[in-house]
Structure 1
Amino acid sequence: MNYQNILFHIENGIATLTLNRPEKLNSFTQAMHLEVRHALALTATDPSVRVLLLTGAGRGFCAGQDLSDRAVEPGAQGVDLGDSVEQYYAPLVLSLKALPMPVICAVNGVAAGAGANIALACDIVLAAKSASFVEVFCKLGLIPDTGGTWHLPRLIGHARAMGLAMLGEKLDAETAEQWGLIWKCVPDAALMDQANAMAAHFAVAPTKGLAFTKKALQASYTNTLPEQLKLEAAMMRELGHSHDYKEGVAAFIAKRPANFRGE
């Protein structure tokens, strides 16, 4: 695909996807959705990829939906926003969750609406100190979609989730870290260095074990404790036969760096 709205490349086990409509704060159009979908499919099927790094170009991460892409005038016939969620935003969130590898999001500026919730769908979120998160849906008479109503209460609790969702106030990156909404807030100038260093770490890590960790934590939201213990046993049984486990033990005993294959 000839990408017009994103930048995408794979190098040294790292897939880097940059939302690239900086003049529109990287807001989503249908065309950008299709390009992101294509890039995520390549990421999922390329055996050389062991981590995805998602970020945005320019001064913002993502302002959510480009409203001019589905503009509607007061009094005119409405648009089917449910179709938009079902056809584009829901598959995007599910694709990020299903990737068999860690997904890092580097939030370089404002993450608003669906943009905020795309970031929260990633496994580890780093944010620049000047970045912010805002659930703007309530100002348009809408609800936090793109998984927002699912992630927010699980990450920061019901009271804070309700406040963010119903007031639409901007949450700065430092507070987002303090609340547990994101992994870490870092100085602006250090954001991409730290994100790239983390991606490089994951590119040589035991990817299958990390993928299973991701699945297990996601399953814990709906499993009972006995079900979760059974899942852990099944995963440990499979991982115990993996090359990376054997290599990890051998490296530990020999006091040398491990050479993980990600298998």
Structure 2
Amino acid sequence: MERRGGVALMTLNRPDRINAFTPELLDAIGAALDEAVADAKVRAVVFTGAGRGFCSGQNLVAFASLPPEERDVGRMLERHYEPVIAKIRACPLPIVAAVNGVAAGAGANFALLADIVVAGRSAAFVEAFGKIGLIPDVGGAWTLPRLVGTARAKALCLLGEPLPAETARDWGLIWAVFDDDRLVEDAVALAQKLAAGSASAIALTKRAFAASAENTFEEQIALERRLQAQAGASPDCAEGVAAFREKRAPVWSER
């Protein structure tokens, strides 16, 4: 993990395997997130990949080398992926995924867990599970239809064809596309804008969005009322209102 001001830059670093996931890499991601959340000076997180791609998904070479009795994909997801997914979804910090090159399978759906996803112009998202006889995981079957609709989500997963970054942006799968040679710098600059915002408002906004997919409209407006009451009683709200009245930039409280 590299600190850039209030931003924690986390780079998946197995470039020889296009940063394919291993239990050790997933454990390292979880530990890095714990470290970032524990550090009050960190106010935003960026994920990216080392080398020519973001992440090629599960390390199939290592998986194929396991004894048959240990090739339990469900158990692997439960033990190694799900704890990291839970940490990402519960993280109060804004998370940006900067997708360079290919994001395939679990790597694509891992990127889509971020709050804001950006990609390099040459990047592509590939739901490649069907090509190895598997189904979408790492939340893909939940996330994709909510981002691009059921028809597109099904086609992406059943066909397994690469989705170019600019099409992903046009479909609403990701937020923005940056030049490849500026991807990390632009993603960090975006995260620094988030880091300069109200940490409490961002955390509460994330909670509201996380609940919205499962809530009825009535449940959601009741939750918004409770969270807004909490936000309204915070020092950041008092500072934001004062700054607005005084026509100056707000000075937000420490996280």
Q: TM-score range by the shorter chain?
A: over 0.9
2:218 corresponds, among 214, 219, 226, to 226
What corresponds to 2:51 in structure 1? 58
**Does the CA-based 8 Å contact 1:204-1:261 persist in structure 2?**
no
- Residues 191-221 of structure 1: CA deviation (Å, up to 9, x unaligned): 1221111111112210111111111111111
2:13–2:50 Cα contact (<8 Å) kept = yes
Contact 2:123 2:165 in 1 (8 A): yes
Mapped to 2, the partners of 1:144 and 1:219 lie a distance apart of 22
What is the deviation of 1:122?
Answer: 0.4
Q: Is the contact made by 1:177 and 1:183 (CA closer than 8 Å) also made in structure 2?
A: yes
Change (3 A) 1:246 1:143: same
Residues in 2 aligned to 1:120 and 1:103: alpha-carbon distance in whole angstroms:
10
Indicate which of 121, 124, 136 corresponds to 2:128. Answer: 136
Higher relative contact order (CA 8 A, sep 6+): 2
Check if 1:105 corresponds to 2:97. Answer: yes
1:10 paired with 2:3, answer yes
Count the aligned residue pairs: 255
* Equivalences for residues 63-212 of structure 1 within 5 A: 63-72=56-65, 79-212=71-204
> Identity over aligned residues, as a percent?
47
RMSD, aligned CA: 1.5
What code does the residue aligned with 1:158 have? T
Measured at CA, do residues 262 and 217 of structure 1 come closer, stay the same or move farther in structure 2, by a change above 3 Å? farther
Q: Distance in 1 between matches of 2:85 and 2:174?
A: 17
Gaps of 5+ in 2: none
Secondary structure (helix, strand or coil) at the match of 1:222 reads coil
Partner Cα distance (2:91, 2:39) in 1: 11
Q: Which runs of 4+ in 1 moved over 4 A?
A: 75-78
One-letter identity of the residue aligned with 1:69:
A
